[in-house]
């Protein structure tokens, strides 16, 4: 009976899905063993980071399978709600350990990584292979509008604090207010997504998706969620000693290493779609990832911080992070607004990401 069930499951999952599932299980177990025997912190950090990336991909596959029965709008809502589960767990355990600098940098780094590095690589690869690529500009325009709102919500508490306005000294309350407003905007966007509006991920794919039975999708999601919780704890535990061994700053670690670790596989998918000349789908996947962090993950972690640990996560950021966010929103909006992309525009986006990353190398 067990053999029959295993054969049935094998027939339901593609080779890539098996590889991601098997890799996430193996590396999650390896991370647990490395943590238990107090292995080298850098090795544990690297293995747990790769495990997190695979678990994030597994969560994405599971939510896509669940949403496939309800249409592209519901898929987008599920991905927005569950897609950042590993990052949420990392943020939770980092809050418990008081790593506010790392969390702030990682959240901003997730937006920068998607809107600059990954989008730039997609434009670069797609442009080299297919020349100028064209896409419907309605989606990036809507996402850019919502992202600019999120940038404002992150910038204003910082300005209030550093400019010593009458609201200075009330950063906690102001941050909570901004977080609640962002969540309200996110909730307001759900009906638009369900109706197939501009924030909906397109239905187009390279090949028809092999549909799983509902029980398999639920089991995979549950397994990925539990695995992400454990691996995130081990990842954060190895973070501080690994930073000390490698002699890199907490800000750079959060901005680049932690931010990219949670979405590495998803980043690769966006670039592959651009390489296959699926520009609309690639841009929607990439920019929606930034929007999910800005409208969903950041406000949730801000509110959560007032119930977890002793240090509150406010939206008062280092000024350079706010400037980096503003430049990112400005450049990505300008480049995507006309509905066309070239490889040189991709190089421009990558260049800005590299400059920002280097500026935080020393802290």
**Per-residue pLDDT, 4:** 42
Comparing 69 with 125, the larger pLDDT belongs to 125
Angle at 278 between CA 277 and CA 284, to 5 degrees: 140
At 180, list the tokens: 């609640």
Mean pLDDT, residues 111-137 taken together: 88
- Asked if residue 351 has pLDDT above 90, the reply is yes
Percent of the chain with pLDDT over 90: 23
Amino acid 57: pLDDT: 81
C-alpha radius of gyration, the chain, whole number? 20
Q: 108: which 2 tokens? A: 């901003």
Structure tokens at 126: 């797609």
**pLDDT over 50 (residue 11):** yes
Confidence of residue 289 (pLDDT cuts 50, 70, 90): confident
Length of the chain: 363
Residue 182 is classified by DSSP as H
Mean pLDDT (the chain, rounded): 82
Q: Write the CB contacts of 78 (distance below 8 Å, at least 6 apart in sequence).
A: 63, 64, 66, 67
How many domains does the chain contain in total?
A: 1
Q: How far apart are the C-alpha atoms of 245 and 41, rounded to whole Å?
A: 8
What integer pLDDT is reported at residue 3 of this predicted model?
A: 46
Q: How far is CA 188 from CA 34, 84, 294, in A?
A: 44, 19, 15
Alpha helices in the chain (DSSP H): 2-12, 15-36, 41-67, 72-82, 85-96, 100-112, 119-130, 138-162, 171-194, 214-246, 250-252, 259-261, 264-275, 279-292, 298-304, 319-336, 343-359
- CA separation for the pair 271, 168 (Å, rounded): 43
pTM here is 0.85
Please give the full DSSP string across 323-344, using - where no structure is assigned: HHHHHHHHHHHHHHTTSEE-HH
Least confident of 27-41, 172-186, 214-228, 323-337: 214-228
Whether the Cβ atoms of residue 147 and residue 294 lie closer than 8 Å to each other: yes
Name the residue range of residue 326's domain.
2-359
pLDDT at position 206 is: 47
SS3 category, 134 = strand
Per residue in 66-118, pLDDT tens? 766 665 555 555 665 666 778 888 888 888 888 888 899 999 998 998 889 99
Q: In angstroms, rounded to a whole number, what is the distance separating the alpha carbons of residues 233 and 92?
A: 9
- Which residues, other chains included, contact 336 with Cβ-Cβ below 8 Å and sequence gap of 6+? 119, 137, 140, 141, 144, 283, 287
Asked if residues 291 and 153 have their Cβ atoms less than 8 Å apart, the reply is: no
According to the model, what pLDDT value does residue 79 have? 60
d(CA 161, CA 359): 23
Please report the pLDDT score of residue 36 as a whole number.
Answer: 92
Task: Tell me the per-residue pLDDT of 252-284, one tens digit each, with 9 for 90 and over.
Answer: 988 988 888 766 666 777 788 888 888 888 887
Query: What is the per-residue pLDDT across 191-231, written as a single tens digit (0 to 9) for each?
Result: 766 665 555 555 554 455 567 777 787 888 888 888 888 99
CA torsion, points 203, 225, 309, 240, in degrees to nearest 10?
-90
Percentage with pLDDT > 70 across the chain = 84
């Amino acid at each position: 009976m067990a053999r029959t069930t295993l054969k049935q499951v094998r027939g339901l999952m593609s080779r890539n899905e098996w590889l991601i599932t098997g890799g996430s299980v193996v590396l999650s177990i390896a991370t647990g063993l490395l943590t238990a025997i107090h292995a080298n912190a850098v090795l544990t950090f690297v293995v747990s980071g790769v495990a997190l990336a695979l678990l994030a991909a597994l969560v994405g596959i599971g939510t896509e399978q669940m949403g496939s029965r309800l249409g592209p709008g519901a898929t987008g809502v599920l991905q927005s709600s569950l897609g950042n589960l590993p990052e949420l767990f990392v943020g939770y355990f980092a809050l418990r350990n008081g790593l506010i600098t790392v969390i702030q940098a990682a959240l901003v780094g997730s937006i920068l990584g998607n809107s600059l590095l990954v989008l730039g690589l997609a434009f670069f690869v797609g442009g080299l292979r297919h020349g100028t690529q064209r896409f419907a500009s309605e989606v990036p325009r809507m996402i850019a509008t919502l992202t600019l709102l999120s940038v404002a919500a992150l910038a204003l508490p910082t300005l209030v604090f550093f400019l010593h306005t009458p609201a200075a000294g009330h950063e906690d309350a102001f941050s909570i207010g901004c977080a609640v407003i962002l969540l309200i905007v996110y909730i307001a966007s759900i009906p638009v997504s369900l109706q197939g509006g501009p924030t909906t991920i397109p239905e187009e794919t390279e090949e028809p998706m092999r549909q799983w039975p509902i029980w398999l999708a639920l089991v995979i999601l549950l397994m990925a969620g539990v695995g992400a919780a454990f691996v995130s704890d081990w990842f954060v535990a190895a973070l501080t000693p690994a930073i000390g061994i490698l002699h890199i700053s907490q800000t750079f670690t959060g901005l680049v290493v932690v931010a990219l670790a949670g979405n590495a596989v998803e980043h690769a998918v966006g670039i592959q779609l651009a390489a296959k000349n699926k520009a609309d789908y690639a841009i929607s996947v990439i920019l929606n990832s930034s929007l999910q962090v800005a409208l969903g993950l950041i406000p949730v972690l801000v509110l959560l911080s007032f119930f977890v640990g002793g240090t509150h996560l406010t939206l008062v950021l280092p000024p350079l992070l706010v400037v980096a966010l503003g430049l990112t929103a400005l450049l990505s909006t300008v480049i995507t607004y006309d509905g066309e992309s070239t490889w040189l525009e991709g190089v421009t986006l990558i260049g800005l990401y590299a400059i920002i990353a280097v500026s935080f190398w020393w802290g």
